């Protein structure tokens, strides 16, 4: 395969419901859709799902645009390749910048699947025809507002709810949700806001039968995660800490996790995300696929990844309508009782709605060799 044209589309869309975490707040998103075209005219789409600000990860929309346009796309345009993993060699010298790499890597996987006329899930080695989705709920102004949101998603049929927590918004909201929904699959995500001084405080969360406590401490603070895991029986899940396979290896050695959140964006693409799944499976660590409020392109890649056998916990791949009034793919992604079908058509399995993408594009760039 040879990419003869590469395009970036910076697309802006409002969220249905404003989202707040311990690290940031957002009401609309700018994601960059990546389009790779080969000589036959086949197209692979990917999505760079960076937040606007460097609060979840160090990258921003601008840094991703810079890295993709100046480094990643020129490297891809230059080379012949047979498998998506070959392209990783094109950017192996670029350190970090996982979100930017993930969008280009995903586009290459989708182009490869399109060129073989196979579903993305199939070329990844997926074995499920449907995946279970959970929802991620932000910090709300009051506990009553939160309970309204939880009820809304329980009514929509989602079997798992994750709550964002932060100092001042942890034990009480969790207590309220747990006492209203005694049987709900419930977990919490702190996005790295706590420190070792909070260990005793976090121990209180052990009494609510949570499925996991996700990323309580800073990304590089693996030792404190390992320490908390010895103090509680609730599994500790890592998100921000795991950007590479070496990070995962270190965390396993330190026994700093019992569950792994695999995000395609955070790990620099499907190639590494799949390898992390394989390693976790071998280590007996259950995984699920985390999200970054992806538009349909990135979310369908997450759905395909979640079809791998080790994804035994619900993934953050909710239906389009949970996030956006209208999505960039046609048809939109849907869920019935929290179950999302893995597309069986070639590539992403849904069409990208070019007219809608164009109508919401705020910046665009085309590169050719």
Q: Given 26, 101, 162, 263, which residue is catalytic? A: 263
- Residue 191 touches ligand OSB, criterion: CB under 6 A: yes
**Cα gap 150→168, rounded to integer Å:** 19
Return the half-sphere exposure (C-beta side, CA atoms, 13 A cut-off) of residue 325: 11
Contact string 31-60 vs ligand OSB (x = CB under 6 A): -------------------------x----
Q: Which is nearer to Mg ion, 211 or 360 (CB)?
A: 211
**Cα gap 260→313, rounded to integer Å:** 10
Three-state DSSP class for residue 202? helix
**Cα gap 95→310, rounded to integer Å:** 28
Q: In what order do the strands lie in the sheet with 43-48?
A: 43-48, 25-38, 3-20, 361-367
Among 189, 243, 327, 353, contact with ligand OSB (rule: CB under 6 A) = 189
- Residue 35 touches Mg ion, criterion: CB under 5 A: no
Q: Which is nearer to Mg ion, 35 or 239 (CB)?
A: 239
Is residue 70 among the annotated active site residues?
A: no
Contact string 66-105 vs ligand OSB (x = CB under 6 A): ----------------------------------------
* 217, burial (CB in 10 Å: exposed 0-12, middle 13-18, buried 19+): buried
What number of other Cβ atoms are within 10 A of residue 353's Cβ?
A: 18
- Residue 243 touches Mg ion, criterion: CB under 5 A: no
Q: Which is nearer to ligand OSB, 3 or 11 (CB)?
A: 11
Q: Which is nearer to ligand OSB, 54 or 369 (CB)?
A: 54
**Cα gap 356→359, rounded to integer Å:** 5
Binding window for Mg ion (CB under 5 A); candidates: 48-56, 166-174, 231-239, 295-303 = 231-239
Structure tokens at 27: 């009401």
316 binds, among Mg ion, ligand OSB, none (CB under 5 to 8 A by kind): ligand OSB
Concatenating the DSSP letter of every residue in 132-160 gives EB-EEE---SSHHHHHHHHHHHHHTT-SE
Handedness of CA 54, 55, 56, 57 (dihedral sign): positive
Among 35, 59, 239, 247, contact with ligand OSB (rule: CB under 6 A) = 239
Which residue, 336, 362, 313, 301, is CA-closest to 106?
Answer: 301
The residue with tokens 């692979």 is 44
Total residues contacting ligand OSB (rule CB under 6 A)? 12
Q: Which of residues 3-22 bind ligand OSB (CB under 6 A)?
A: 21
Q: Given 26, 101, 162, 164, which residue is catalytic? A: 164
The residue with tokens 């992604």 is 333
Q: Which is nearer to ligand OSB, 42 or 329 (CB)?
A: 329
Among 37, 114, 221, 239, contact with Mg ion (rule: CB under 5 A) = 239
- Residue 318 touches ligand OSB, criterion: CB under 6 A: yes
Active-site positions read: 164, 263
In the complex, the residues that contact Mg ion under the rule CB under 5 A are 189, 239
In the complex, the residues that contact ligand OSB under the rule CB under 6 A are 21, 56, 136, 189, 191, 239, 290-293, 316, 318
């Amino acid at each position: 395969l040879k990419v003869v044209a590469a395009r970036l589309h910076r697309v802006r869309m409002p969220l249905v419901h404003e989202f707040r975490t311990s690290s940031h707040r957002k009401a609309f998103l700018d994601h960059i859709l990546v389009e790779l075209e080969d000589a036959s005219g086949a197209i692979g789409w990917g999505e760079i799902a960076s937040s606007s600000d460097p609060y979840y990860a160090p990258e921003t929309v601008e840094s991703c645009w810079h890295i993709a346009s100046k480094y990643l796309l020129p490297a891809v345009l230059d080379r012949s390749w047979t498998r998506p993993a070959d392209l990783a060699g094109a950017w192996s010298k670029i350190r970090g910048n996982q979100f930017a790499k993930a969008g280009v890597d995903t586009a290459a996987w989708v182009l490869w699947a399109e060129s073989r006329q196979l579903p993305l899930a199939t070329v990844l080695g997926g074995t499920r025809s449907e995946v279970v989705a959970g929802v991620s709920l932000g910090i709300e102004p009051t506990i009553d507002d939160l309970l309204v949101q939880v009820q809304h998603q329980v009514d929509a049929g989602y079997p798992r709810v994750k709550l964002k927590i932060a100092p001042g918004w942890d034990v009480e909201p969790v207590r309220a949700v747990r006492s209203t929904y005694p049987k709900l699959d419930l977990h919490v995500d702190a996005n790295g806001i706590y420190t070792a001084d909070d260990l005793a405080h976090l121990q209180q969360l052990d009494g609510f039968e949570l499925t996991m406590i996700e990323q309580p401490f800073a990304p590089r603070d693996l030792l404190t995660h390992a320490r908390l895991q010895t103090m509680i029986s609730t599994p500790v899940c890592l998100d921000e800490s795991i950007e590479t396979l070496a990070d995962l290896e270190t965390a396993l050695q330190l026994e700093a996790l019992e569950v792994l959140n695999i995000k395609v964006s955070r790990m620099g693409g499907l190639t590494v995300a799949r390898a992390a799944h394989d390693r976790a499976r071998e280590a007996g660590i259950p995984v699920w696929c985390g999200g970054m409020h992806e538009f349909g392109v990135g979310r369908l890649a997450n759905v395909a990844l979640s079809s791998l056998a080790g994804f035994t916990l619900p993934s953050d791949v909710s239906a389009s309508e949970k996030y956006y009034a209208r999505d960039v793919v046609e048809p939109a992604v849907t869920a019935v009782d929290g179950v999302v079908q893995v597309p069986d058509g070639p590539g992403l399995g849904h069409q990208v709605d070019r007219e809608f993408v164009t109508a919401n594009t705020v910046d665009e760039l085309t590169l050719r060799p």
